[in-house]
Structure 1
């Protein structure tokens, strides 16, 4: 079946989630600078990155189909949660989140023909209190090493989550309901 849009992402997780919407898509891999701008909030950064991915994808797309871009980041106390550098860094992040709430911002954007629509979905994740032994054991699973914030909710890190307010799928990397709604809105305006 021919694709009806492109996904501007190399993330295997986003591809898997997008397949749940049962719409054929093809992949693009635009290269953009993901560095934050001075004074940029995490929420503004994630939306800018999603829009840039979608717009860069639209510029390189072999066919004039809509391009979906997405980006996800965590925020704790106004700071962006990045991938840990090492075990010590992961432990520091997990201790900071222990017994507290942090935000996960996932932005989605659709672009084609010089038009871009975007949306940011913010979810709040609350962790249970973590012991040093739990943090060390979790590090040794290998899961935290390549995860922003040092955990993955869809994996072993999900056991630390005592409460989630918002979209589970947005925390994983792509909010399904909002993505489908944005695609429908974009396509409806295309046919007006």
Structure 2
């Protein structure tokens, strides 16, 4: 069985390996993600995940198992993408401090002409943070390539008070949901 991951995320590749899946990486570089869309945030994350999958699908066999995902951090109805600079990262962390936000991932699995799509939402509660704690986290260098300016799987774990939902979703790939999708498509 040949698995294809339509993603540049090393975290997604690591999570697949965690459950015994070695995937070939094909970056969907030709697909331009939207940062906003008419409708809900879930509609946006779904659009981007399907777009990545459809773009990469043209390059692989129908017998391959194609996995694509898109993850968005949403706070008070606004999308927090990857910060453009350190100041934006600091602003994001200051907004999230002491509050709850959502991490939404849409998964797409394509196999033998069938497509499964699912969205998973996790509530993440940050603890209150001092300016010094935010500065220390920024100095660690984890903020710049992550939506919401933090990575729960790294030093960002100390920013989080608790979560409601799937931890792996916050990392970028909800594994239990993926497993159920693969079973539904009879991927062995």
Work out whether residues 58 and 64 of structure 1, in 8 Å CA contact, stay in contact via their aligned partners in 2. Answer: no
Tell whether the 8 Å contact from 2:152 to 2:160 is kept in structure 1 after alignment: yes
Q: Which digits, 9 at most, give the CA deviation of each residue in 1:98-148, with x for residues without a partner?
A: 110000001111124543210001000000011111111111111112221
2:112 is the alignment partner of 1:121: no
- Work out the CA distance in 1 between the residues paired with 2:93 and 2:152: 13
Instruction: Show the counterpart of 2:161.
Output: 162
Aligned length: 187
Q: Does 1:76 align with 2:96?
A: no
> Deviation of residue 59 (structure 1)?
1.6
Normalised to the residue count of structure 1, the TM-score between the two structures is 0.90
Contact 1:55 1:111 in 2 (8 A): no
Larger radius of gyration: 1
**What TM-score does the superposition give when structure 2 sets the normalisation length?**
0.91
Q: In 2, distance between residues paired with 1:187 and 1:59?
A: 22
What CA RMSD, in Å, does the superposition of the two structures yield over aligned residues? 1.8
Which of structure 1's runs of 4+ aligned residues deviate more than 4 A? Answer: none
Residue 66 (structure 1) shift: 2.5
Counterpart secondary structure, 1:23: coil
Corresponding residue to 1:18 among 16, 25, 44: 16
Residue range with higher mean Cα deviation, 107-116 or 73-82: 107-116
> What residue is the counterpart of 2:5 in the other structure?
7
Unaligned runs of 5+ in 1: none
- C-alpha displacement of 1:63: 5.7
Question: Hey, what does 1:27 align to over in structure 2?
Answer: 25
Task: Flag the 1:38–1:174 CA change in 2: closer, same or farther, 3 A.
Answer: closer
